[in-house]
Amino acid sequence: MSNRAQWGTRAGFILAAVGSAIGLGNIWRFPYVAYENGGGAFFLPYLVALFTAGIPILILEFTIGHKYRGSSPLTFARLNKKAEWVGWMQVLISFGIATYYAVIIGWAMSYSIFSFNLKWGDETGGFLMGDYLKVGDVGPAGSFVPGVVIPLIIVWVIVLGILFKGIKKGIEVANKIFIPTLVVLFLIIVIRALTLEGATTGLNAFFKPDWSQLGNASVWTAAYTQIFFSLSICFAIMITYSSYLPRKSDINNNAFITGLSNSGFELLAGIGVFSALGFLAVSTQSEVADVAASGVGLAFAVFPQIINQMPFLNELFGFLFFASLVLAGLSSLVSICETYIAAFQEKFNISRTKAVAIGGGLSALISLIYATEGGVHFLTLVDQYVLVVGVGLAGLFEVIIIAWGLKKVKELQQYNNSLSDIKIGAWWVICLTVITPLLLGYMMVKQLIDDFTAPFIDGYPLSLVIPWGWVPFALTLVGGIVFATLKWKSAEALETNKSEEVSS
């Protein structure tokens, strides 16, 4: 495909990759995961995970995306037709994640407006679940919640609008605006949080090392999981994004810049979040441990409390915080949608506009399920199974197939080194062929045993876990295999590669 879309500039590609990596995972997941798993001591397993799995896989994905120039399914098919299903599995997982990630960005959008009059009142948890989300019984969907449907529609209009415009004029331009803005907003938040009374109490709690935790296998698993999620690897995203790189592009430098920027932002978020938590603990005379939280609880229940307690400019701080979540979320959502748009476009040989309309439209429609009274329960389960189980397994299949099945690591290493300033050596080969498969394999076996033997997941009965957890997960696997058996509508899809490889 000689007329394949391309990034306009190197900075454009890096900003898009960093934009995908920096998301809700950095802001609401990392600080608590670090705090819970050894505080300052967590940085050791975190850095080990970054350098033995995160950056090596990022390099792998940038390399294959660049070499085979396709969406994840086309890249895998060009590696070997029998491996195409892994690409589809990743794409379908991304499709599933996009449907609920959009809803969370919608919540953040509502909350950035609520900040103007601190609409959540004093009972922030009650406001979130009752007044705003109108959470109903576990099981039925109930009716739509207009307060969620409206921002959700706005999110999709923005995201699909960006995607319609294409790679250079849409995704690249959006990230060039979103990411610098996000960094500036977030720096203001962190500086403000650091100057609040009690900030040092929070930071002490965050950084205090508990070295004894390092003997705990679950701490290491937490570090690897965080790195995988945070770097957006094994989601098909980085393969798709790097397929739009011009032929002459440095791979390794780009991967290091992306990986280190993401971790830098993660550290910044940890400092900001824990300074603010320290302030809340001191001003309500409680312990940091009592106020610390992650995920939805941290962003939509604890942060509103922090905002309530601030001495002045509460509204502005609130707005900046939620606007940051929106920006970080949008750039990640765009990246995850691009995976299936590119895949549909190539497989069915349709125009980009059609692929965005069908793929994007379908995910927007499905996302409405989570904008109902029962939606939060569905969201929690799909998140656990499609994301935690699905992405982990897809990553495991990716490294095993490439490193062991197709034995491609050496060839990819040569290709990569011929393009990059920093050359990769034995470190990369060992990480991909030994360390990552073994560690991911261990993690996934343990995860599956835990999930299979638990009668209740997060308090949910099996009658809900099966349709909203295991079925969506199984659909990504079965669907992956089914899509892989369908014919490529463009006859040259698999052929083009051969000529491109020869000419490259």
Tell me which residues touch ligand PFF (CB under 6 A).
Answer: 20-21, 23-26, 97-98, 101, 229-230, 232, 332-333, 335-336
CB of 451 to ligand PFF, least distance (A): 20
Q: In this complex, which beta carbon is closest to ligand PFF, that of residue 171 or of residue 412?
A: 171
Buried b (16+ CB within 10 A) or exposed e, 12-34: bbbbbbbbbbbbbbbbbbbbbbb
Taking the C-alpha atoms of residue 359 and residue 366, their distance in angstroms, rounded to an integer, is: 11
Taking the C-alpha atoms of residue 502 and residue 318, their distance in angstroms, rounded to an integer, is: 55
* Residue of 502, 65, 32, 479 lying closest to 273 (CA atoms): 32
What is 131-143 written as a DSSP string?
IIT----SS---S
In this structure, how many other beta carbons lie within 10 angstroms of the beta carbon of residue 365? Answer: 11
Taking the C-alpha atoms of residue 45 and residue 42, their distance in angstroms, rounded to an integer, is: 6
CB of 46 to ligand PFF, least distance (A): 14
Q: In this complex, which beta carbon is closest to ligand PFF, that of residue 288 or of residue 336?
A: 336
Q: In this complex, which beta carbon is closest to ligand PFF, that of residue 335 or of residue 413?
A: 335
The dihedrals phi and psi of 306, each to the nearest 5 degrees, come to -60, -45
**Residue 440 has which token pair?**
């991911």
CB of 12 to ligand PFF, least distance (A): 18
Cβ atoms 104, 299 nearer than 8 A: no
Taking the C-alpha atoms of residue 466 and residue 472, their distance in angstroms, rounded to an integer, is: 9
Q: In this complex, which beta carbon is closest to ligand PFF, that of residue 25 or of residue 480?
A: 25
CB of 163 to ligand PFF, least distance (A): 13
Cβ atoms 18, 262 nearer than 8 A: yes
Taking the C-alpha atoms of residue 86 and residue 283, their distance in angstroms, rounded to an integer, is: 51
Q: In this complex, which beta carbon is closest to ligand PFF, that of residue 101 or of residue 321?
A: 101
CB of 98 to ligand PFF, least distance (A): 6
Taking the C-alpha atoms of residue 392 and residue 384, their distance in angstroms, rounded to an integer, is: 11
CB of 198 to ligand PFF, least distance (A): 27
CB of 236 to ligand PFF, least distance (A): 10
CB of 133 to ligand PFF, least distance (A): 20
In this structure, how many other beta carbons lie within 10 angstroms of the beta carbon of residue 232? Answer: 29
Q: In this complex, which beta carbon is closest to ligand PFF, that of residue 98 or of residue 292?
A: 98
CB of 329 to ligand PFF, least distance (A): 7
Q: In this complex, which beta carbon is closest to ligand PFF, that of residue 58 or of residue 457?
A: 58
Taking the C-alpha atoms of residue 346 and residue 198, their distance in angstroms, rounded to an integer, is: 54
Taking the C-alpha atoms of residue 354 and residue 487, their distance in angstroms, rounded to an integer, is: 19
Please report, for residues 114, 317, 418, 486, the alpha-carbon distance to residue 313 in angstroms, rounded to integers and kept in the order given.
14, 6, 54, 57
Q: In this complex, which beta carbon is closest to ligand PFF, that of residue 90 or of residue 413?
A: 90
Taking the C-alpha atoms of residue 144 and residue 454, their distance in angstroms, rounded to an integer, is: 31
CB of 332 to ligand PFF, least distance (A): 4
Q: In this complex, which beta carbon is closest to ligand PFF, that of residue 100 or of residue 244?
A: 100
Taking the C-alpha atoms of residue 432 and residue 437, their distance in angstroms, rounded to an integer, is: 7
Please report, for residues 54, 217, 243, 300, 425, the alpha-carbon distance to residue 420 in angstroms, rounded to integers and kept in the order given.
18, 35, 16, 43, 12
Q: In this complex, which beta carbon is closest to ligand PFF, that of residue 332 or of residue 476?
A: 332
CB of 182 to ligand PFF, least distance (A): 12
What element of type H or E holds 216? Answer: none
Helix 72-79 / helix 492-503 crossing angle, nearest 10 deg: 70
Q: In this complex, which beta carbon is closest to ligand PFF, that of residue 171 or of residue 281?
A: 171
